[in-house]
Copies of this chain bind each other. A is one copy, B any other.
Amino acid sequence: MKRESVRALLEQVRRGDVDPDQALESLSRLPFVDVEDARVDTHRALRHGLPEVVFAPGKAPDQIARIVRALRESDQDVLVTRVEAEVATRVEGELPGGEYSPVSRLLWYGPAEVATLGNGTIAVVSAGTSDLPVASEAAEVAGRFGNKVDALYDVGVAGIHRLLASSDVLRNARVVIAVAGMEGALPSVVGGLVDKPVIAVPTSIGYGAAFGGIAALLGMLTSCASNVTVVNIDNGFGAAYVATLINRL
């Protein structure tokens, strides 16, 4: 039932065509107005001037192209995440105009420059070179979402001085995204260096007892630093999304 239908019903009540009790019955089941086919994420995204986001895994290249084209025709920017190189090539073959980043596996349809909307800087720090895909996903998503981003890669805790040498980057940030695989200790150290929210992203990097990111995930959840919250393994996008919300406060 759409907003117009509700107004019509109310008009009927005013005109006496419908009994209040009948209307009550109709309305008591009505939890909202007019959502039907629209995606809630879309609505929220639009309100915030954020691009649409499409999660590529499990979708065929032509399916991705079709979705992106439809969104582009509605004048929306589109960010496709977790796009393997060969998929990107095929999507761009069907729909030119995209910008693909092979490290972050992001495919972007939108302006080269995005207006800055956040109030400060988001710092993205990562532990090892293998964590780069997840860290750069976080950094580039944050950038496409209109944030100033400072990236600081390869500052693992076994070489703690490198991290400390760049602590200005951390101190200048409004929110920090800390990405690490293996033992996932980076967010704890970072959390101790800053007084800002730290969003920890465990990665599936590592072998054996790393268990595809479980070691890092557990380490981050049990961090001795109180300012650390955690997102799912490899979820660089989610960290950037939350960091964006925080940065706009």
Contacts and interface: CB of A to CB of B under 8 A. Distances in A.
Contacts of A139: none
A189 B185 contact: yes
Interface of A: 3, 6-7, 10-11, 13-14, 16, 20-21, 23-24, 27-33, 35-36, 39-41, 44, 47-48, 57-58, 119-120, 127-128, 130, 156-162, 164-165, 167-168, 174-175, 182-185, 188-189, 191-193, 195-197, 199, 202, 204-235, 237-239, 241-242, 245-246, 249
A119 B230 CA distance: 24
Top 10 closest A-B pairs, CB basis? A208-B233, A185-B185, A40-B159, A158-B192, A10-B20, A215-B218, A31-B31, A32-B161, A229-B229, A183-B219
A164 B192 CA distance: 13
A150 B208 CA distance: 26
Contacts of A11: 20
A157 B222 CA distance: 13
Contact of A160 (B23, B41, B189): B189
Contacts of A185: 157, 183-185, 188-189, 219
Interface centre among A191, A222, A224 (most CB of B within 10 A): A222
A229 B31 CA distance: 27
A4 to B, nearest CB: 10
A208 B182 contact: no
B14 A158 contact: no
22 contacts: A3-B24, A10-B27, A29-B167, A29-B168, A30-B30, A31-B160, A32-B162, A32-B165, A35-B159, A41-B158, A128-B224, A158-B223, A158-B224, A183-B224, A197-B242, A207-B234, A208-B212, A208-B235, A215-B221, A216-B219, A227-B241, A229-B242
